[in-house]
Amino acid sequence: MWVQGAVLYEPLKQLYQSNPLISNGTRFLTKHYQKRRSSVVVMSMTTKGAAVPIMVNGCNGKMGSSVILAANSAGLQILPKSFGPEKEAGNTVEVFGNEIKIHGPSERESVLASLYDDYPNMIVVDYTVPDLVNDNADLYCRVGVPFVMGTTGGDRDRLYKTVDASKVYAVISPQMGKQVVAFLAAMEIMAEQFPDAFAGYSLHVKESHQAGKLDTSGTAKAVISCFKKLGVSFDDEVIEMIRDPKEQVELVGVPEEYLSGHAFHLYYLSSPDKTVSFEFQHNVCGRSIYAEGTVDAVLFLAKKVKMLQILTYLRFNLVNTLVTTTSSTSLFFGGFSIRRSYDKTFVIDNLAVVSKLIVSSNFNVIKTQIQSKADKRIYNMIDVLREGNMR
């Protein structure tokens, strides 16, 4: 038997009495609900990552395996499939205790669609190669699965346009290290607050990464864009990319044990007469900073997806009533049902917010507020940072 929760009874009673859009109250709901019932996939409302299944594409690469290690520690569910090159298709690899089957390009769409059917709450993490960024993103958007794009390179304009047109949720960032992102944010603030402060200065940029990194550092490009706003003239083509291990040790100072995984950056500014110079430097040894940031991005995206699904549903189906049972909570939107087990405190808090919004506002205001939140689908690590501690 469906009963109205005590927390919502009075607000909803006011809603029935005052809003003409909700005619005939519960009788309308019951009649409409009997005719048509549909469910919306909504993730378990938890702050931990235990319920979040992730597919790590490029799982046996350096970054992919590092993400799996971090995901294991965070309690995420590692799905047993991953994309890889055709020559590895059919192989099963073990990555930190997880057996994962590799699927080649010819199988990608059918495998992903099937996996998404089985795990509708899944999120894809992409650490493949630059040449596959756009093709992979096209696929994720076509299937409709949310994803975290950690792979740099590709056509970034096309990437953003593809995701925006598809309405798929995504975290896209060329830099997954949260602390490095905070530095980048500080650079952006300086560039916005003090445009042309370094006008006339010359800039020299060095970046050193492991030999396997084929593309130019996306982080370096982001910092350079800030310097350009500060008035510095610079051609990205002259970035000094150092990939030779001997030079990395002798000239850059990379510890030998981290030759296979590091990110050293140096930005050297000098005045026109060479009497003033500034150096900005950030060095990372290993990959744990990026892996941990990626896990935070997954948790952030999972939270956004489940909340925005509700907001989007509200956007198209005005609330007719909110009802609770003794064992679970169901939200009825325009006669449709979203029924899942939620954290009790979370549900009560959010139902109260929704009911207050309905009582205190007219429906046009509600639609506007919901639309402004639901329309944002593309996030970056700045958004993750602003969310605070995800674990």
Question: pLDDT tens digits, residue range 245-280?
Answer: 999 999 999 999 999 999 999 999 999 999 999 999
Residue 175 has pLDDT above 80, yes or no: yes
- Residue range(s) of every CATH 3.30.360.10 domain in the chain: 178-288
Q: Name the range with the highest mean pLDDT among 42-56, 197-211, 359-373.
A: 197-211
Cα dihedral 188→194→200→204 (10° resolution): -20
CB 29 within 8 A of CB 322: no
Average pLDDT of the residues of the chain: 80
- Select the more confidently predicted residue: 11 or 125: 125
Comparison of pLDDT for 55 and 334, the residue scoring more: 55
So what CATH class is 53-173+290-305+381-385?
alpha beta
Please list the active-site residues.
Answer: 209, 213
pLDDT class of 313 with cuts at 50, 70, 90? low
Domain with CATH 3.40.50.720 in the chain: 53-173+290-305+381-385
pLDDT confidence tier of residue 30, bands split at 50, 70 and 90: very low
Check residue 115 and give its pLDDT: 98
Residue 363: pLDDT over 60: no
Cα-flanking dihedrals φ and ψ of residue 149, to 5°? -100, 100
Out of 3.50.50.60, 3.40.50.1860, 3.40.50.970, 3.30.360.10, which CATH number does the structure's domain 178-288 have? 3.30.360.10
**pLDDT at site 167:** 82
Average pLDDT value for residue range 68-89: 96
